[in-house]
């Protein structure tokens, strides 16, 4: 009997494969990564790739015109956008634009509006990227991407809930577990595992998928542990900035901070820097102006 039941058990992998209204795979990111790995790649080749997806290209142009990515001067096309940010900044810019495509409607199961979802992603990405800059062995691009995509599993589970006969709303337990306790009670897994499964299906690197999978419990990560600690710590800043009705979350464990490359005595300085960047980015890169 148990064997028969297991055939129908929902797993993160089975869930992402059977949902048909998820956003399309961001193929441009994989192609961009291949281009950036080649020393001979030109800015025009990068622009040509981005222009293959008109909606994405438009987002890139709008975002490149912000002071977050440049000087706030007008940008008219993808070529000018790439010239503005250069090869080093193009993956961050494109990842921003891709992430904004996933956030188009509210998540009823979590009572989260699109703009708040976007703010959470931006705050986490900025915090994770800043921490990665302190760590010689962690890629800034990986940390930034993991931060932007860390909540992708919420979208997956929300779509699954919408397909059920009985509506369901998940309550957050606050940092560090967020919605995981109630998700696990119902599904047996959390949005962290669901998000990682979707990123794996899309072909994202193991570094990013591992960080997303273990964002709630980085000590359990069998590999890429430092990036997992960075994402777990970055989520604290996200909770502070973006969850208005939540009390100040308990600080990450001191061991998490140390492995993420920051000492407790430096925490307030790091947080202040991230807050300044977040306030600027959330104003200039809102869904209505830069992301939508």
What is the residue whose two structure tokens read 């599904």?
A: 187
Q: Is 135 inside any structural domain?
A: yes
The verdict on 215 and 124 lying in the same domain is yes
Q: Is 95 inside any structural domain?
A: no
Q: Which of 26-40, 61-75, 264-278 has the lowest mean pLDDT?
A: 61-75
Cα–Cα distance measured from residue 8 to residue 201, given in angstroms and rounded to the nearest whole number: 20
Cβ(270)–Cβ(232) below 8 Å: no
Helix (DSSP H) and strand (DSSP E) numbers for the chain: 15, 0
pLDDT band at 287 (very low <50, low <70, confident <90, very high): low
Instruction: Name the average pLDDT for the chain.
Output: 87
Q: Is 16 inside any structural domain?
A: no
pLDDT value, residue 233: 97
The verdict on 68 and 133 lying in the same domain is no
Domain final residue pick, 59, 90, 121: 90
- Over residues 90-116, the mean pLDDT reads 88
Domain final residue pick, 90, 113, 132: 90
Q: In this prediction, what percent of the chain has a pLDDT beyond 90?
A: 54
Cβ burial, residue 18 (10 Å; 0-12/13-18/19+): exposed
The verdict on 83 and 208 lying in the same domain is no
Cβ burial, residue 263 (10 Å; 0-12/13-18/19+): exposed
Locate 52 and state its tokens. 């293959």
pLDDT band at 70 (very low <50, low <70, confident <90, very high): low
The verdict on 39 and 153 lying in the same domain is no
Q: The domain spanning residue 253 has which CATH number?
A: 1.10.3210.10
The verdict on 192 and 158 lying in the same domain is yes
Cα–Cα distance measured from residue 146 to residue 152, given in angstroms and rounded to the nearest whole number: 10
Task: Give CA angle at 196 (276, 240), nearest 5°.
Answer: 25
pLDDT value, residue 5: 38
Q: Is 142 inside any structural domain?
A: yes
Query: CB count, 10 Å around CB of 36?
Result: 16
pLDDT value, residue 156: 95
Domain final residue pick, 90, 116, 148: 90
Cβ(161)–Cβ(167) below 8 Å: yes
| Number of domains making up the chain | 2
Cβ(127)–Cβ(233) below 8 Å: yes
Radius of gyration of the chain (CA): 19
Cβ burial, residue 95 (10 Å; 0-12/13-18/19+): buried
DSSP conformational letter for 107: B
The verdict on 131 and 264 lying in the same domain is yes
pLDDT value, residue 158: 96
pLDDT band at 272 (very low <50, low <70, confident <90, very high): very high
Q: Is 70 inside any structural domain?
A: yes
The verdict on 278 and 159 lying in the same domain is yes
Residue whose C-alpha is closest to residue 178's, from 162, 201, 194, 202: 194
The verdict on 127 and 234 lying in the same domain is yes
The verdict on 145 and 288 lying in the same domain is yes
What is the residue whose two structure tokens read 């949902």?
A: 19
Cα–Cα distance measured from residue 114 to residue 30, given in angstroms and rounded to the nearest whole number: 25
**pLDDT at 1 > cutoff 80:** no
Q: Which of 146-150, 273-277, 286-290 has the lowest mean pLDDT?
A: 286-290
- Over residues 281-288, the mean pLDDT reads 69
What is the residue whose two structure tokens read 């308990």?
A: 250
**pLDDT at 211 > cutoff 90:** yes
Cα–Cα distance measured from residue 231 to residue 139, given in angstroms and rounded to the nearest whole number: 12
Q: Is 98 inside any structural domain?
A: no
Query: CB count, 10 Å around CB of 144?
Result: 25
The verdict on 60 and 189 lying in the same domain is no
User: What is the pTM (predicted TM-score) of this model?
Assistant: 0.88
Q: Is 272 inside any structural domain?
A: yes
Q: Which of 53-62, 173-182, 196-205 has the lowest mean pLDDT?
A: 53-62
Range of the domain at 159: 103-292
The verdict on 143 and 279 lying in the same domain is yes
The verdict on 29 and 148 lying in the same domain is no
Cα–Cα distance measured from residue 91 to residue 94, given in angstroms and rounded to the nearest whole number: 5
- Over residues 173-179, the mean pLDDT reads 94
pLDDT tens digits, one per residue of 131-144 = 999 999 999 989 99
Cα-based distances in Å from 281 to 105, 121, 195, 222, 278: 21, 11, 24, 33, 5
pLDDT tens digits, one per residue of 8-26 = 578 999 999 988 877 777 8
For the chain, first and last CA: distance in Å? 49
């Amino acid at each position: 009997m148990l064997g028969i039941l297991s055939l129908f058990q929902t797993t993160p992998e089975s869930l992402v494969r059977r949902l048909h209204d998820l956003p399309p795979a961001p193929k441009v990111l994989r192609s961009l990564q291949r281009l950036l790995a080649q020393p001979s790649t030109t800015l025009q080749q990068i622009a040509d790739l981005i222009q293959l997806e008109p909606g994405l290209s438009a987002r890139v142009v709008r975002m490149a015109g912000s002071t977050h990515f440049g000087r706030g001067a007008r940008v008219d096309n993808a070529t000018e956008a790439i010239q503005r940010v250069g090869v080093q900044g193009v993956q961050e810019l494109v990842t921003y634009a891709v992430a904004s495509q996933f956030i188009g409607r509210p998540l009823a199961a979590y009572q989260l509006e699109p703009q708040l979802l976007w703010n959470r992603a931006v705050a986490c990405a900025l915090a994770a990227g800043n921490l990665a800059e302190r760590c010689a062995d962690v890629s800034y691009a990986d940390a930034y991407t993991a931060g932007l995509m860390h909540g992708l599993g919420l979208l997956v589970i929300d779509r699954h809930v919408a397909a059920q006969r009985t509506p369901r709303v998940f309550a957050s337990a606050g940092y560090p577990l967020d919605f995981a306790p109630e998700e696990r009670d119902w599904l047996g897994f959390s949005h962290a595992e669901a998000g990682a499964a979707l990123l794996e299906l899309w072909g994202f690197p193991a570094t990013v998928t591992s960080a997303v999978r273990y964002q709630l419990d980085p000590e359990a990560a069998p590999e890429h542990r430092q990036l997992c600690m960075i994402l777990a710590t970055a989520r604290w800043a996200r909770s502070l900035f973006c969850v208005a009705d939540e009390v100040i979350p308990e600080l990450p464990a001191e061991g998490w901070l140390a492995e993420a490359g920051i000492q407790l005595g430096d925490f307030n300085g790091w947080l202040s820097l991230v807050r300044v960047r977040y306030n600027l980015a959330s104003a200039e890169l809102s869904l209505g102006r830069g992301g939508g």
